[in-house]
Amino acid sequence: MNIKNLSLKSILDEDWVFEPNFNYADVSGSAQLYGFDSVILYRKEGEKDICVVRFHAISHYDKKLFYIVNKLIADIGLDIKMGDPLSKMIKKYGTPTFVYYLEEDYKRYYWRYPSDFYDYHDIFYIVHYHYLLSPDLLICFGVPKSDNRITDLEIVNDQKIISEIMEARRDIKEYEKAMYQPKECLRFVKQRIENRKITGITCNNIRFIKMEMENCYIEGIQTEDIKIHKCLFRNVIFDNHFKIGCISIEQCQFINCVFHDTFEENSIQLDNNLFRNCLFERIRMEEEGILNANKNRFSHCIFKEIRWNGEGVFCGSKIKEGRMEHIFYKTDDISYNHFSNIQMEHVEVELEKEGIGLFDNQFNTITFHNVTVKGPVEDTHFVDCDTTGLLFLDCKN
């Protein structure tokens, strides 16, 4: 197996990029690139030989890229190519030294999973199988969790870089493990709970993972760290007072749910969730709190009597067919959102002057009544809206 003399010039002529300043695993050097970062041939600073080869998100749907990568693999002398099944890799190399997975950008693998939107399944998790064949030779295969065919390959023959890579990736795996499986933790995993009142849970770490909960009432949870991942809640009432700690909710669905929660010094993360026919009422957040909400969807939801006095970001989300009334919302960034068919009454939005503000949002068919926005506003569009009740104020006022 030889990667030292690989070159894109011999097979691509001028259809590639040379990057003279390129870091790999925090080690300075240069690289030959093709397809942005689909193909990387890297050499350390001051050296002539290639020491890292990386192929990322390679499929036969891009015939040219698929041919180029498999030609390079043949030149290396490796008898495994892109598109081969996972079983071939296992048969040749056996049990891997180290395994971890990452959720990749689904657009990089869009060819394999045609869809109009990210649909909350595992199909975009890429499992990385590391084979440390010697202190100075690492081979890593990347395989989508859904179909078990090789799409990624990394070969490294430099001991320092291998050490940096393995240390960083083990840290990532330990972080993931600590996040979802802390030592002292109350876990609810792949369970179904119906018609229950859940109250008085006092545990520093709580995990809800791939749960289904229906017709339940949850109150009095006392925790410093709660994570809710890939769960389905239907007809559930949440009525809790969180004082400190982190709350993370990702890739969940909430149908016909009611939220009466209040927060103090909490950090809240909402990512890729669906809320349908939900009521958010009498929710409070103190000044010390932080909310970061990204790529969520709200459909036919009502927001009322809310005072959100913290910091954070609300971006990349879709809010349609709902109502907002008697709300004070203070934040740093409301951007890249799409609001449609919503009635807003007695709403005050205060945007930090040091933040991004109200940026690149789309409002369609919105009725504004006594709505005030204080802070920076840029590239925000109003289509078929009644804006007679909308007032913009400068931060200085």
pLDDT at residue 120 in the model: 38
Top mean-pLDDT range of 67-76, 207-216, 337-346: 337-346
Q: Tell me the pairing of strands 17-24 and 27-34.
A: antiparallel
Percentage above 90 pLDDT, the chain: 49
First to last CA, the chain: 68
Task: Please indicate, yes or no, whether the overall pTM of this predicted structure exceeds 0.85.
Answer: no
For residue 119, pLDDT beyond 60? no
pLDDT at residue 261 in the model: 86
For residue 180, pLDDT beyond 60? no
Q: Tell me the pairing of strands 390-393 and 377-378.
A: unpaired
Q: Is 61 helix (H, G, I), strand (E, B) or coil?
A: coil
Q: Is 76 helix (H, G, I), strand (E, B) or coil?
A: helix
Report residue 101: phi and psi, to 5°: -130, 155
The mean of the pLDDT values for the chain is 86
Please check whether residue 351 is in contact with residue 371, taking contact to mean a CB–CB distance below 8 angstroms.
no
Report residue 261: phi and psi, to 5°: -75, 150
For residue 105, pLDDT beyond 70? no
Kindly state the tokens that stand for 293.
């909400």
Q: What is the mean pLDDT of residues 354-372?
A: 90
Band (pLDDT 50/70/90 cuts) for residue 324 is: very high
pLDDT at residue 272 in the model: 93
pLDDT at residue 61 in the model: 74
Distance in angstroms (rounded) separating the CA atoms of residues 393 and 372: 7
Q: Tell me the pairing of strands 318-331 and 192-194.
A: unpaired
Q: What is the mean pLDDT of residues 42-59?
A: 92
pLDDT at residue 122 in the model: 40
Q: Is 49 helix (H, G, I), strand (E, B) or coil?
A: coil
pLDDT at residue 144 in the model: 83
Report residue 310: phi and psi, to 5°: -95, -150
Weakest-pLDDT range from 35-39, 71-75, 121-125: 121-125
Distance in angstroms (rounded) separating the CA atoms of residues 282 and 296: 21
Top mean-pLDDT range of 40-44, 109-113, 167-171: 40-44
Kindly state the tokens that stand for 142.
């990347």
Burial 235-255 (b: 16+ CB within 10 A, else e): bbbbbbebeebbbbbbbbbbb
Distance in angstroms (rounded) separating the CA atoms of residues 9 and 125: 33
Radius of gyration of the chain (CA): 25
Report residue 245: phi and psi, to 5°: 105, -175
For residue 112, pLDDT beyond 70? no
Please check whether residue 215 is in contact with residue 238, taking contact to mean a CB–CB distance below 8 angstroms.
no
For residue 157, pLDDT beyond 80? yes
Distance in angstroms (rounded) separating the CA atoms of residues 185 and 190: 16
Band (pLDDT 50/70/90 cuts) for residue 396 is: low
Kindly state the tokens that stand for 159.
């001991």
* DSSP 8-state assignment for residue 95: S
Q: What is the mean pLDDT of residues 43-61?
A: 90
* pLDDT, tens digit, 9 for 90 and up, residues 215-246: 999 988 888 889 999 999 999 999 988 877 88
Weakest-pLDDT range from 2-11, 183-192, 212-221: 183-192
For residue 125, pLDDT beyond 80? no
Percentage above 70 pLDDT, the chain: 90
Q: What is the mean pLDDT of residues 129-155?
A: 90
Of 122, 124, 120, 82, nearest to 105 by C-alpha is: 124
Band (pLDDT 50/70/90 cuts) for residue 113 is: very low
Distance in angstroms (rounded) separating the CA atoms of residues 362 and 374: 18
Q: Where are the beta strands (DSSP E) in 14-86?
A: 17-24, 27-34, 39-44, 52-55
Distance in angstroms (rounded) separating the CA atoms of residues 194 and 26: 50
For residue 160, pLDDT beyond 50? yes
pLDDT at residue 176 in the model: 61
